[in-house]
Structures are given as structure tokens and as C-alpha cells.
Structure 1
Amino acid sequence: MRGGRCAVPGTGCGLIRWPRNGGSADSPGNWQDTESKVEHMENEAVVDTLYSILSLSLPALSKFALCLHKQHRHFSPLIGKIAHLVDVKLDSIQDIRILSVLMISVSDVISQSFQDRLLQKAEQLLGGEVHFNYAKRIVQFLQLIKLSYPPLLEKCNKIFLKNTSHLDLDNISLIFGLYEQLGFDNAEFRLIAKQLLSQSIDDYHEPEAFAKLFFVLGPMAGSKVKERMVSVLHRHLDSYHVLQLIHPLEMYFILYLFSVLNYDPPANEEFFESCIQHLTSNLSCFETHHLVLLGYILAVAGYFPAALIKTVFDVSFLSRLDAQLEVLSDTLKQRVRSRLMKLNRAVCLECPEFHIPWFHEQYFQHVLCKGISRINPLRQHVHRLLAEILGGSHYARVSVLTPYYYVIDFECILDKNKKPLSYMSQNILLDDLRGTHLRHDIKDEERKALPQGAHRIALEFLDSKAFSKDSRHLKGEPAVKKRHLEILGYRVIQIPHFEWNSMVLSTKPEQLEYLRKRLYETQ
């Protein structure tokens, strides 16, 4: 065939135009026209066409192969013929752009030996200046053949890092997905991606883009970046519909931020309930351990969907979870077990109607309560202040372990007349506390019924970790702890670090007056 038209029998769509002498096979118009016609061609017609284009240049062949790949003709006879041509001409290919396109196009029909030759050729051509997209295609090829090949991945990663102007949200999301499937991770790429996405948070306010941003940036963002994401989400959430958040895992990360950072979205209940309805209809999208994490973040926000709770606390589910935990990393394993415990505690305290048993006694005894914790200088100092206010050290307890294993900094009991009740069994001299260890043994904690009108007070000192970064906004977990302690019958006094460490409370008399007011204030 010389330049002009090539009749394609059986297509029902006429002719495919090929470039005439002097024309360009790379012309976008030519190849867009070709692609639209290839979509409607039968395999026999495509094979006939192949024999008419065998004399085309490698650039033209790569373009045609890409058209076929986009039409999902991965196993057609034509792809096999193209693979044979590439095999024959591989040594003459010196353009990584052409090679990368052909590699993707023939990835489904190549032999092991041909695959090895392609990898070697790609490694050879990736030296020097290489366009971002060509390196991306090489990584996509590795994903298609399900092969993690470090030499090529490292070279492609260096190209990505040299071309940060191409690292927009879509490309970062794609590359992270490819890396995850290939079991490849690079700290420098992760850091650059985090920096770039953090700088452009305000640019991604459309629902689909913002959901993708949460999905990619959320897991690696620090508290300050999460605060900014929540702020952007707050500004635009009124215009979002839950179904616009695409995928259940993306919705999970959005709920995670609202829950853990303790922010209410606009139309709070309606938003959470819509998300819950969508998520509980798609529980099969989640890995076993992800359902535990989902249950936890919803519990922090105060939501306990029956379908999810019954699934997580089913005996067969817990057996599958135990099996999955065996293959998870130690860090993730510890996090999942901790979240399961906290979810178990929250359900027992807030939803007794589910009749879920508390089954984490042994977990605490072997993991969290291995006997001792040191009384730090701040607690020693505050204990002395409380003793002075209440009339003796036996009126306050330090590092108290509650039912369901919350540890509170200080506990005291006031009767109906706001007079302190004594803990005679804990009549420990303050001087004896210095440098000693106290055991947290729940068996020794006898919670006797209080006299009528008396109530327990939990005094909690909150450090900077309890608040959003550079903010006085309380995070989700300290808020949940307060909620649960109140269910257990405590009046909870939370003392923020920025109040206790302020200049206003720099002297002992001022600290005494502050604590006295907080203890005796009307609930």
C-alpha cells in the first residue's frame, strides 16, 4: 500500500486513511480518525489491515498498537502479529516513547524470554532525559505483567522526581496505586507528593477531585494538613452529595478526618447518616481489618450502625480477623487490635442494647497493664495541691484505672454537700510517691456504692496531643473519653495545657485557686 486509502472489508464504516507520501503518521487527526474506526472493526478486518501496514514505520506501528490497546483488543490475532514485529525489530528501537507504547500494547501476549528482552531494552533506553509519561508507561507495563523489577522502578522513580511539574493529583494517585500493586515504596517520592498536594489543597474543591485528594493525602498528612483539608471540606460540603464521593474508601478517609479531629460537617447528622447508608450497602468493598477501623471512627463520632456492629462482632468475622492479623505488619496489627478494643468498649458503654460482651480483659492485662507506671513530677505536684484543697492526700487518688480500662489522672469523691470522702485504703504519704511505681490492677479497685448525692470527679490534664495542632480544638479521642467517663458516673474536669501552663497560673496560690474553682464549680 502506498499513501492514500486502505479498504477495510467488513467494517461497515468505510475506509481508514493512511498518510500520503510526505504526510505524518503522527498527525493527531489521522490517528483519532483511525482509533474511531478501529473501534468498530471485526478481528478479521483488523488482520487484513495489519498486512497493509507492515511497511509502516515504528512510530506509526506504535500509534496503531495503542489504538487497539485502548479498544481492549488485548488478545486479538492482530496483537500477536504486532508482538512478533516488535520482537523482530526490538534491537532497532532506540526511542523510549515508541518502546513504552509497544510494551503496554503487547503485554498480554508476550513470552517470558521476550519479556526479559523488553525489560533490558527499557532499562537501556531510560538513561538520560526521558519524558515523564514514558516512565509512567514503563511502570504501567510492570503492573500489567505483575512484576516488581527494582532496577526499572528506581529509574522511573528518579524521572518522576526530576519532573515534579507533572506530579498533579491524578498522576500522584496513579503512581501510588501502581507502586502499591508492585510492592514498591520510595520515601523521597512520598515526601515530594505530600508537599505538592499539601500546597495545592485549596485547588481541589470539586467533589471527585477532593475525594481523591483525601484518599491520597489523608493517610500521610499531619494534623495541620488535615486541619486545612477539613477547612476546605467545610467550605464546600454544602454543595456536595454523598454519592459524589465516589468510592467507599474515599468516604472512609473523609469520615476519619471529621471523626478523629472532632469537627461537625454541615448538616452533621444528615451527612453522617447518608455516608453510613452508602457504606453499609458496600461493606464487601472493605478488607476485614478495614471494617474494624471504620467501626471505630464512626463510634468516635457517636454512630453505631447495627449492620456494621453485628458484622464486626460476629464470631466468624473475628476468626477471619485473627487470621488476617497474622499477615499484617506489626504496626498495623497493633493499631487494628487497639481500635477493636476501643470499639468494643464504646459499644458496651453506649449501645448495651446490642448485647455485645466485653472481651478485652486479657488484652489489657497482657498488653497495656503490665504492672506499673511512674508518677511524674506534674502529678506529684498536683496531688499535693489537691491534698491541700481537700484536706489530705487520702481524699484524692492518682492514676486511677476505671472499669473498661480508662486511666484518669486524679479521682476524688464529693458528697451532696461538696465535702470530700476519704480513700482510707490509699492513705499514702506524698513523699513516698517520689520515684516509686504504682500498679494498675483492676482487681484491687473496689468501686463501692457511693452515698446518696455523692459523685466521683475525674480530673484530667490534657497535653498538646489532645488538641489540633496550633489550636485549642479538642480532638475526637479525648472527647470520647469524657463522654464515656460521664456514662460511668464521673463528673469530668479537663484541664488544657494552655491554661495550666499560662502566666495566669504561674504561682502556687493561683494554681490552688484555679483547681478549687474547677472542683467546686456547679456542674
Structure 2
Amino acid sequence: MALITLRRNLCHLSDFRIHGALAALKNHPVIHVHKVAEERLCPWFCSPQSEPFKVRFRHGCCKKFHSENGNDLHPVGEPVFSQAHDWDRPEQNLKSVDEQMFYGRLNNFTSSEEVLSFISALQTLPDTLVAGALHRICEVEKKDGDQKPPKEILKNSVFQALCIRCEQESSSLPDTVLVTALHALTLLHVDPQSSLLLNLVAECQRRLKRGGLEVHSLCILGESLIKLQGPGCATLELIIYQLQGEKLEEFTPEDIVALYRILQACTEKVDQHQAFLNKLNNFSLSIVYNLSPTLISQMISALVVLDQTQALPLVIKLGKYAVRHIPHFTNEELRKVLEAFIYFGHSDRFFTKALEQHVASVCLTLDPEVVSKVMEYCSRKHILSKPILDAVAETFVCQSEKFLPHQISELIEPFGKLNYLPPNASALFRKLENMLLTHFNSFPPKTLLKILHSCSLIECHPVNFMAKIFSPCFLQKLQGEELFLDKLSLAQLTQLFLTSVLECPFYKGQKLLPKYQVRSFLTPCSSLETPLDFHLYRSVKIGLIDLLGARVYFASKVLTPYCYTIDVEIKVDEEGLVLPFTVREDVHKRVALCIDDPKRFSLDSKHLLGKEAIKQRHLRLLGYHVVQIPYYEIKMLKSRVELVEYLQRKLFPQNVGIRW
């Protein structure tokens, strides 16, 4: 990105030349240059606390190049450069060479040595290309995540000459060259207190106060100062103020995203900039189609950090265009997009479809954090995607050792939540059991409880671990330093204990102490039971009154002694008479109506969620006659008469006469 703009803005300076790397060396004895360079440069690379800063920088030339052998890029329609090409002749002068071809050659290098060797072969080097050369060095050195450049670069005479030139000529460098050089040296972890950076920063500040820095230079300078001085520096406020005064229509898409990144670093002042952010969010709707995968990821990630929940139209549009880029996202970029969708509660069926195809084809090569984020996305939005779940299950069986405890939890929980067993379920849960047995103490207590509870939802009962999690020792670890266990953990423990009693009668181990048992599974977060939908219940209630004759013959929201809350309960005696709900004697059968609204199913499906499936399973084991009244059957009824007939068939399928 930086080089494109640099080339675009400064190509008209072709007649402006100052001595290049070799010229600088020729004007000073070699020993003197080395001495001066080492004195100046050695303190620059001494800041181990500096963190890596990702290079944001596109090569526009690459679009006009193609590869003949997979390695060597050359301009389309022009001969391939050979080792004996004029580029490599020391006497070659850039005045006669197209600047775009220079960048094409520069961007083809894969090491700093190649870049510096290429620069040293040039008799003169335009100052417009000094920053470009530094940026390319920075890029090739950062590709492997190195913290600092190797010492060989520091001692390289050409690199030393470039740095000395930047420092000595700072006042005469064009704006874009100055800020781009500062940015490149910042990315190379030059010491912020070195004379080199102090001079460059001081010169940038002088020009900033005078005004006149163009938008792209302001954006580059802003990101450099965040890296060097942190988001609290006073100069950054001036940069943001000047950017707010510019017309957004004059910003390139790269500059818009850079502005988001700058504001993202100032989250404590987001309220102060909210009016400008609203304007920026609205304008960004018009440029989404121009964004690359990297820029889409960066913009949507900034919206999360800045908590722009009111910018949902922008999030939706970013999601729409992200669909076509899914195969091109890096692992980190895809993770950020999924994280944003989870944060904003957004899902898109086209995005999900594209994600299915991508995950199914490359799941074994995805980073574990991305895999767990994909599963979290499906889980949060109740998306029962069999291609994704099957691929993830296969990945875990093959590469379980790559996953950390929290990633395993995020991977396993959706299977229970979505009530789905993959084709390799036996291998999946056997692998999980072996990992838990081997690394039991490595799992945080709450993480372990979530995993085991999720297994029980789909009838993969963790019998071998029940005695351990019901033990006072584990319960004490689970409570930690808190005075009491949280309600969700207590509810999960209680449901696991109820499962051991109802579905695992052969289990004779440790029981859960009464003080750790809850009375109701209706937790504040509705994790174990979904509350009754009022509108759907009202429709069913009208039909029940018509069918049974009075409201007294059924009760709603009945809390059972077994912690479950029944939507509607009807009592029937031995002769088939429907009894008033106040009667406690002579009850032969209890009918539990489960009035299931869309929230109790996977998204756009008729597949019950795990918590609803286990509830109905347990109620049957407790002796209830469970009758499911799903929303998709109710909405098909066109009249009140049809509703009564429907309830008649559901409640009394044997056509027994109803008496009350």
C-alpha cells in the first residue's frame, strides 16, 4: 500500500536525484563510513521490548506480472530479466529506467541481501525509492516473524548509507518519502530514542504543524507514532484532528482502513470521536467492494474493538463481500472476520455456505484457533452445518495434540449444543477420553465441566469422569477463590448427576452433594432450558381451552421436583379423565407439552438443540408422557377449528372420548 502511493505521488519527481548508496560511500572513505555508521546505528536496534508491527503494504506492480517458472516474476509482454541484465550493471542510471519496472524487480527479491545487492549495483538512487527499498527490507525480514533484523543488515554498508542519508537529508525529503522511511524503520524496531528516529519524528512534527501533509502521509505518520510513542501522544491527536477535516471522498480505501486502525488504537477516546466514526461508517459502505481480503479483515476487526454496534449495515455489507474472499483470507484474517460476526451476532447463509466449502477442503491445514472460532460461530448462531462439524471432528481425531484445552472445549461444545453426532463419533470421543485421562489436571475445572456436560447432551456419557467431578476436591477447585459456585456450573453439575441416575444406572460412584444441586435448570443465560415463548403459548392456550373446556384443566410453567420446567402439564386419571391441575391424588398419567419455538431448534431446521433433546429424554425416563408442539406445525394451521383438531390428535391419538 505504501509503495503504491509513494510511486503514484512522486513519479513526477523523476528529475530530482541525489546520490544513492554507492555515491554516499564514494564521498567518504570506507573506514570512516563504517565508523560513523556503527556509532549511529548500533544504538538503534536495542529495544527488545518492542513488539512486531505488521507490514501493511501492497505491491501494485504484481498485478502486471506473471510467473513463468513459479519463482521469477517479470513484466507481461517483456523479456525476462537475466543475471546479466542491465539492472546489474553498476553504471546503470535510474534516469533511463522505468520506476514501475524498478518496483517489479524490487518486489521479486525474497531476502535483504538480494535487495541490498541490487541497490548497490545502481550508480544513483532517487530519493523517492529510498523508502521503498527500506520497506522491502522490512517486509522480507518480517515474513518469518523475526523480532529484530539480523546483525548482517546493520553492518551492511549499503543499508548504513541509506539510514545515514535518511537522517542527514530528512529536511529535504518529500513528505511521502519521509513518513514512509519513518514507518519502515519503525517496523524494523529501531530504538525510538536514537538520533535517526528522533530527527525523522521531529521533521514530521514540524511539517505536521505547518499543515499540508496529504491524507496518506498523515495515516502513515499516525500509525508510526502509535508504534513509537503509544496512542496517548499529543501529536496523534493533531493527526486525527487534521484527518477529520479532510473530505472522506478524497481518501483511498487503504487510507480509510488505516484511519480505522488509528482510531482503534485510541479506544479510550472512542466517545470523543463517535460523531466522526458515524460519518466514517456511513461513508465506508460505498468502498467495501474495493477492499482486499486483508483490508476487510482489518476494518471489521476495528469495528469490534471500537464497539460500533450501531454500524450493523456496514458489518452486513462487509460480510457479503467477505464471502468471495474466504479462500483468500489468511488464518488470522479469517479468525478476525469470524470473531466480528460472533461479536455482532451476525450470520449469513451465503457466508456459511462458502465457509463450509473452505473448511471441508482445508480443515487439516487450518490453525487450531481458527478451527475453534469456526465452531464457536456455528455454536453461537445455532448453525447445524454437517460439513463443518464432520471436517472438524476428523481434524481433531488426526491432530488432537495441536489443540489447547480452551480450544478443545470450543470444539466439543457445539456437538452437544447442536445435538449432532458426526460419522466418526466413536473415534472422536475415544480420542477425547484419552486426552482427558492423560491431561486431566491440565484442563481448567470449568472448561472440563463444560466439555463433559456437552458430551452428556448427546448421550456420550462421561461415566469414567463422574466420580472425579463430583468429588469434594474437584468441586473446591471449581469454586476457586469465590465464595460460591456460579449458577451455571451448579446447574451443569446437577444435570450431569441427574444423567448418572436416569441414563447410567450402572454408575455406583461418588454422588453429588445436595448443597451443589439446584432446584431449577432455568439459568439467567438460558443455557440449560429455553424459556417458554409467550406468543406461541398464547395460541396453544386458546386451543387447549376450547378442547378441554376450561383453563383449570392444565397448568403452565410447572417446575418439577427434577429441576425441569414443563411448558404445559395435563393430569389424567386411570380412566382417561382429565383432572384439574390442582388435584394431587388419583393422577395416573402426567402429560408434558413442550411448546417449541424456533429458538429451541438449530437455525432454519427442525433439529432440536441438545438441551431440549436431553430435557425431553429425561422427562420420559421420569414417567411423563411427552408431547411436542413445534412452531412449524402450529403455523400451518389456518383456523381455530384446525388448532383444536390438531391438539386432539396430539394429546389423544387413540381417539378416546374426552371427559371432564
> If the length of structure 2 is used for normalisation, what is the TM-score?
0.56
**2:571/2:581 contact within 8 Å kept:** no
In structure 2, the partner of 1:329 is none
* 1:202 to 1:310, Cα distance in 2 relative to 1, 3 A: farther
In structure 1, the partner of 2:326 is 204
**1:414/1:455 contact within 8 Å kept:** yes
Helix, strand or coil for the counterpart of 1:69?
A: helix
Q: How many Å apart are 1:424 and its aligned residue?
A: 7.6
In structure 2, the partner of 1:246 is 369
* Residues 242-321 of structure 1: pairs in structure 2 closer than 5 A: 244-247=367-370, 248-256=372-380, 257=382, 258=384, 259=414, 260-268=417-425, 270=427, 300-301=457-458, 314-315=475-476, 318=479
101-110 or 379-388, which deviates more: 379-388
In structure 2, the partner of 1:499 is 633
| 1:61-109 alpha-carbon deviations (Å, 9 max, x no partner) | 2222222233233636133332112112212442111121122123244
| Letter matched to residue 295 of structure 2 | N
In structure 1, the partner of 2:563 is 404
Q: How many Å apart are 1:187 and its aligned residue?
A: 1.5
* Residues 103-502 of structure 1: pairs in structure 2 closer than 5 A: 103-110=222-229, 112-125=233-246, 127-144=248-265, 147-149=268-270, 150-151=272-273, 153-167=277-291, 170-181=294-305, 183-188=306-311, 190-198=312-320, 201=323, 204=326, 208=331, 213-221=337-345, 225=348, 229=352, 233=356, 236-237=359-360, 240-241=363-364, 244-247=367-370, 248-256=372-380, 257=382, 258=384, 259=414, 260-268=417-425, 270=427, 300-301=457-458, 314-315=475-476, 318=479, 339-340=488-489, 342-351=491-500, 355-356=511-512, 357=514, 358-361=516-519, 376=538, 378-379=540-541, 381-382=543-544, 385=547, 399-402=557-560, 403-412=562-571, 419-420=575-576, 426-427=582-583, 456-468=590-602, 470-500=604-634, 502=636
Q: How many Å apart are 1:397 and its aligned residue?
A: 5.5
* 1:57 to 1:269, Cα distance in 2 relative to 1, 3 A: farther
| 1:190-230 alpha-carbon deviations (Å, 9 max, x no partner) | 2322244257547636894765554332454567x469727
Q: How many Å apart are 1:47 and its aligned residue?
A: 5.8
Q: 1:349 and 1:298 mapped to 2: Cα distance?
A: 14
Q: Say which of 101, 104, 109 aligns to 2:220.
A: 101
**1:100/1:137 contact within 8 Å kept:** yes
Q: How many Å apart are 1:377 and its aligned residue?
A: 6.2
* 1:167 to 1:366, Cα distance in 2 relative to 1, 3 A: closer
Q: 2:254 and 2:440 mapped to 1: Cα distance?
A: 34
| Letter matched to residue 4 of structure 1 | G
* 1:277 to 1:136, Cα distance in 2 relative to 1, 3 A: farther
In structure 1, the partner of 2:197 is 79
Q: 2:131 and 2:425 mapped to 1: Cα distance?
A: 53
**2:592/2:626 contact within 8 Å kept:** yes
* 1:136 to 1:364, Cα distance in 2 relative to 1, 3 A: closer
| Letter matched to residue 486 of structure 1 | R
In structure 2, the partner of 1:516 is 652
In structure 2, the partner of 1:42 is 154
Q: Say which of 165, 176, 183 aligns to 1:59.
A: 176
Helix, strand or coil for the counterpart of 1:94?
A: coil
Helix, strand or coil for the counterpart of 2:285?
A: helix
Helix, strand or coil for the counterpart of 1:56?
A: coil
| 1:8-52 alpha-carbon deviations (Å, 9 max, x no partner) | 736996675689476743896785257658944439948635434
| 1:302-340 alpha-carbon deviations (Å, 9 max, x no partner) | 6687699789984565577799x9xxxxxxxxxx96x55
* 1:411 to 1:219, Cα distance in 2 relative to 1, 3 A: farther
Q: 2:615 and 2:651 mapped to 1: Cα distance?
A: 21
Q: 1:498 and 1:158 mapped to 2: Cα distance?
A: 38
| 1:218-259 alpha-carbon deviations (Å, 9 max, x no partner) | 454567x46972795389547623963425455433455444
Tell me, yes or no, if structure 1 residue 4 matches structure 2 residue 20.
yes
| Letter matched to residue 57 of structure 1 | P
* 1:262 to 1:229, Cα distance in 2 relative to 1, 3 A: farther
Helix, strand or coil for the counterpart of 2:608?
A: coil
168-177 or 359-368, which deviates more: 359-368
Q: 2:603 and 2:627 mapped to 1: Cα distance?
A: 22
**2:322/2:351 contact within 8 Å kept:** no
Q: 1:284 and 1:243 mapped to 2: Cα distance?
A: 24
Q: 2:598 and 2:590 mapped to 1: Cα distance?
A: 26
| Letter matched to residue 114 of structure 1 | T
**2:138/2:188 contact within 8 Å kept:** no
Q: 2:552 and 2:652 mapped to 1: Cα distance?
A: 15
Q: 1:320 and 1:517 mapped to 2: Cα distance?
A: 55
**2:186/2:228 contact within 8 Å kept:** no
Q: 2:443 and 2:255 mapped to 1: Cα distance?
A: 32
Q: 1:366 and 1:214 mapped to 2: Cα distance?
A: 26
**1:462/1:494 contact within 8 Å kept:** yes
| 1:384-409 alpha-carbon deviations (Å, 9 max, x no partner) | 63689xxx987x65543212142231
Q: 2:443 and 2:154 mapped to 1: Cα distance?
A: 36
Q: 1:197 and 1:158 mapped to 2: Cα distance?
A: 16
In structure 2, the partner of 1:25 is 129
Q: How many Å apart are 1:517 and its aligned residue?
A: 1.7
| Letter matched to residue 173 of structure 2 | L
**1:295/1:343 contact within 8 Å kept:** no
Q: 2:654 and 2:131 mapped to 1: Cα distance?
A: 78
Q: 1:30 and 1:289 mapped to 2: Cα distance?
A: 49
* 1:211 to 1:135, Cα distance in 2 relative to 1, 3 A: closer
**1:399/1:407 contact within 8 Å kept:** yes
* 1:386 to 1:475, Cα distance in 2 relative to 1, 3 A: farther
Helix, strand or coil for the counterpart of 1:506?
A: helix
| Letter matched to residue 547 of structure 2 | L
**2:569/2:592 contact within 8 Å kept:** yes
249-258 or 502-511, which deviates more: 502-511
Q: 1:172 and 1:279 mapped to 2: Cα distance?
A: 39
> If the length of structure 1 is used for normalisation, what is the TM-score?
0.67
* Structure 1 portions without partners, runs of 5+: 326-335, 428-445
* 1:58 to 1:117, Cα distance in 2 relative to 1, 3 A: same
Helix, strand or coil for the counterpart of 1:72?
A: coil
How many equivalent residue pairs? 471
* RMSD (CA atoms): 5.4
Q: 1:285 and 1:80 mapped to 2: Cα distance?
A: 48
Q: 1:249 and 1:322 mapped to 2: Cα distance?
A: 32
